[in-house]
Each structure stands twice: as structure tokens, then as C-alpha cells.
Structure 1
Amino acid sequence: MQKLTNKAILIIGGTSGIGSATAALFAHEGADLTIAARKPWNDELAASIHDSGSRAQFVATDVSNTADIRALFDQHMELHGKIDVLFNNAAYDGPGTPVRETTDEELEKVLGTNIKGVFTSCREAIPYMEDAGQGVIINTTAGSAREGLAWPNLGAYIASKGAIISFTRALAVELSQSNIRVNSLNPGVVDTPLLNGFLDKSDDPQAFRESLNSVQLMGRIGQPDEIARAALFLASESSSFVTGTDLLVDGGLVLG
């Protein structure tokens, strides 16, 4: 039995990595989709969604731009007429420089994508969900934002992801009387274009990748489809008694 039949879902940051894997899985589970990102969906993802029979659209969106977010929700509602699940998955890792070398422009870009975009999209979704009397919000965070774990040269990124954890918890309390569940999904280190872009900024990307494998209890980094299955849990009725949590799916990274 499909877990998301008749659900209208908006995935922001849905054309690569975790977002792409989640979009394909959600479509397979019966959801109708709007997929938003700066970069368009690729032919493989579009074909996978089409083959599932899902009604889906792509909307080019800069999540740091409020006008873009509002236009995105307008287009989502025009096609689907409701929003059952919002998955905020867009992310920007930043320049990969020490804090003292991070420019105002880069700081604003990181915070604009990673926390302002999440805040704004939640703000846009809430009235629709309240009118419907139900809803689910999922915000992607990061293992590096958890206590006891951090890396150098990611100060702005880690700060933004920590803010999402706190914001998610606060929003879960705020919306608890509206039958809207709010959780964050914490994927640890996952083999995605975002990770590869960060590795490429290091002096020895292969050595850095091997070190990331070794610090996790399971001895490897995660795969996007493994995180997508956790997103499915949070989006579906399987997690009907879960709200205000930061769900770690990290292969034991935080304990490593």
C-alpha cells in the first residue's frame, strides 16, 4: 500500500542529492509533487516521477528571495489545491573559509538559503495547513550542528543548521494545536553534490572523504536513498506521534 496517496507535497531543494532521491520515492508512494530548486530537474528524475503516475511540476526558485517563495506557493496551489507536506531541503555550504575570512556577501548567502528560506517557506505554508486542519513540515539540518560535533571552515553553515533545529522545535510548539507536525531531518554526512563540492575545496579531497568514512560507527557515509526513506517516515502517518524532534540518520556520526 502506498504511504502518500492523494498527498500534495512541496519539496524545496529537490533536484539533486537527498532532494532528488526523496522526490522519486515520494512519487513512487503516490504523492503529487511540486519540486523547487535553482537548478532544473534532470531527465532521469523527471522520467522516474512520470513513470510513477505522479502529477508533478518543477518551479525554478531562489529560496533566499521572498517573492520567489510566494510565487512558488502560488504555482503549487494552482496545480494541487492544497499542501499536505512541506520538505525544506535546500542548502548552501558556503565558501569553506575560516570565520575571519567569510565576507558579508557569503554570510548573507548562507543564511539566506539555509535559514531565511526555511523560515519564509514555513510562514507561507502555515495558513494553507491551518485552513486544512492538518499538515507536516520537515526541515533538513546537519550532524555538524549537533552538540559535540563540528568542523572548521563551516562556521556560517553550521550556525544556520543549528538555527533550523531550534526553529523547528519552536514551530512545533507554536503549531501543536493546529494538527501540524514539525520535525527536522538530520542526515549526517551523505554522498551528495553538496558534500562533493565541499570536499573539492580541501587540499586532499580523497583523504578527506576517507576520514569522513572512518569517523562514523558504520564505517561509511550515507546514501541519498537512505535519507529519503527517513523523510518518508516523517511525511507519512508512520510518524503520527512525532513532532518537535531532530531525527538523526547519521550512521553513528555523532557518537563516532
Structure 2
Amino acid sequence: MTQTSDLPRGGEFRGLVAAVTGGASGIGLATARELAARGAEVCVLDLNADAAPAGLHGFTCDVTDRASVQTAFAAIDQRFGRLDVLVNNAGIGAQGTVEDNDDAEWARVLDVNVTGMARAAAAALPLLRKGVAARAGDASATAAIVNTCSIAATAGLPQRALYSASKGAVLGLTRAMAADHIREGVRVNCVNPGTVDTPWVGRLLDAAADPAAERAALNARQPTGRLVSAEEVAAAVCYLAGPYAGATTGTDLAVDGGMQGLRLRPAEPADGAE
């Protein structure tokens, strides 16, 4: 049996196949690159699969279309014959209170952020079981699904009613999937990022009346005083997906600069300050 201590740090995914939905930008792209750097063959599933960097395998995939999802995973099966890691990352944002989004927008966001994850997982599970079977001689080997959740699932954020509802559903879905599939050797966890410096957040800032003030407010909302980087989230995803987390399932890992768990007192003024 391979012990995790025998695996080289930085190469723990060597020989494994990973798929990342929404892997052509933001957190998904950072995760795809990190998985590849650690030895995985990485499949980028995205509406814009052509944007996958050299060395990664792009597959066109629309998570709102079951046929598109099934076609993408069938192509992975044909190419690699298995899957070891699924990162369910594709998602979209939404702003506003419950008064601000109509039924069509609720349906659109939930379809991508929640049902889209279920579609991808359902199509991936037969391949993940193949991945487990391929390592049947290693009793500690598991396949992994990591869902991208959010601080919005665990903290009440203003102007994020629809988005928070979708990510709360992802948190519940993660735990239910973990219970359903652990005896098949498939672990399911999620990451809960805080505000991440991604192109989507950049577009929100650009649209603000005062982008600099809005960025300062987002920085101040996190105890570290800065936005989370996509690479920090990617590292957490890789931990949950990899062999060093072989005893971890049904867990949500916050990568939020302390936003969820810390309650800091106001900063003391510097000496001499009024």
C-alpha cells in the first residue's frame, strides 16, 4: 500500500486525471494549473475550452445542458478511460436583495451553481469509480470531488440573496454527496472562498461609482485586510482533492482571510494619532 508519506510533495497527483469545470478563468484556471503542476493530467471543461493553456486538455462543456456535460465526460473517458478528481467550479454571481431578481434570474443562477454541479457529478461518478478500481491494490486510494462553495453559504452578506441561496445549496449538496458516495471510495468536500481577486470581482469593481473605494471596502471586510488570491483557493482545492486529505470528506474549508470565524476589535490608532 502506498503511504502518503512516500509521495513527493508537489507530485502527489502524478498519474492521476482531473477535470475542472469553469477551468478557463479565475479560480478554475488557477486550480487547473496547480493540479497540472502537481502532476495531474488536467481536463478543462468550459464554455470557452479553447482558452485552456498549453499542456491542459480543453473540452467544451455547458453545465446547464445535460447532453453537453455527458458528451464532455464521454470524451474524457475515451481519452483517459478514468477520472480521479472532479473540481466542480463552474458558477456565476448575482447581486441584490430578494426584491431585485426576477424568477428567470433565480432559475438561471440556480441552474448553473447548483443543478450544474449535480449534472457534472452525475456524469463524472462512473469515471471516478473507474479511477478507484484502477488503484484497487491501494487500500488508501480514493477519488475526490471538490465543489466551489462560498463564504456566502455561511455568513449573511448584504446584496447577495440569490447568490447566497445558491451557495447554501452547494454546501448541503456537498454533505449529501459525501454521505452517498464514501463507501464507493469517492470523497466529497467543498471550499468556501471569501472575496477572491478574480475577473468577475474586477468587473464588479469597474462598474462601481468609485472602484478604488469599493476595493478598499472589500479589502477591509476580510480580517487579513486584502482579497483572497485565486492561487490560495487552488491550493486548498488541491489539498482536499489529494492523498493528504484521504480521511477528509463532507467538510467545508474556509479560505476567506478569517472572515467567517474571526470577530476582531477595531484597530487601535497608531501612537500619536487622534
TM over 0.5: yes
Say whether residues 1:150 and 2:157 are aligned partners.
yes
- 1:53 corresponding residue in structure 2: none
After superposition, the CA RMSD in angstroms is 1.6
Q: 1:186 offset after TM fit, Å?
A: 1.0
Kindly report which structure 2 residues correspond to 1:175-186, keeping only aligned pairs within 5 A, or say none. 175-186=181-192
Per-residue CA shift, 1:179-222, capped at 9, x if unaligned? 11000011111100122233344433322211111121111111
Gap runs ≥5 in structure 2: 1-7, 133-141, 264-274
Alpha-carbon distance in 2 for matches of 1:34, 1:132: 15
Equivalence map 1:1-256=2 (5 Å):
1=8, 2-42=11-51, 46-47=53-54, 50=55, 56-94=56-94, 96-133=95-132, 134-146=142-154, 148-152=155-159, 154-254=160-260, 255-256=262-263
Q: What SS class does the counterpart of residue 233 from structure 1 fall into?
A: helix
Give the counterpart letter for 2:184 in structure 1: S
- Residues 11 and 19 in structure 1, CA contact (< 8 A), matched pair in contact too: yes
Distance 2:121 2:244 in 1: 22
- TM-score when scaled to structure 2? 0.84
Three-state SS of the structure 2 residue aligned to 1:33 is strand
What is the CA deviation profile of residues 32-59 of structure 1, one whole-angstrom value per residue up to 9, with x for unaligned ones? Answer: 11101122354xx613xx2xxxxx3211
- C-alpha contact 1:88 1:140 (8 A) present in aligned 2: yes
Amino acid of the structure 1 residue aligned with 2:33: A
* Structure 1 position 122, deviation (Å): 1.1
Task: Output one character per residue of 1:87-132: Cα deviation in whole Å (capped at 9) or x when no partner.
Answer: 00111003x2332231222112111110010011111122232344
Cα deviation for residue 13 of structure 1 reads: 0.7
Write the distance in 1 (CA, Å) between the matches of 2:91 and 2:251.
20
Of the structure 1 ranges 79-88 and 201-210, higher mean CA displacement relative to structure 2 is found in 201-210
Give the structure with higher Rg (CA). 2
Separation of aligned partners in 2, 1:93 and 1:205: 18
Q: Which amino acid aligns with 1:191?
A: D
- Report the number of matched residues: 244
Mean Cα displacement is larger for which, 198-207 or 183-192?
198-207
The 4+ residue runs of structure 1 with deviation greater than 6 A are none
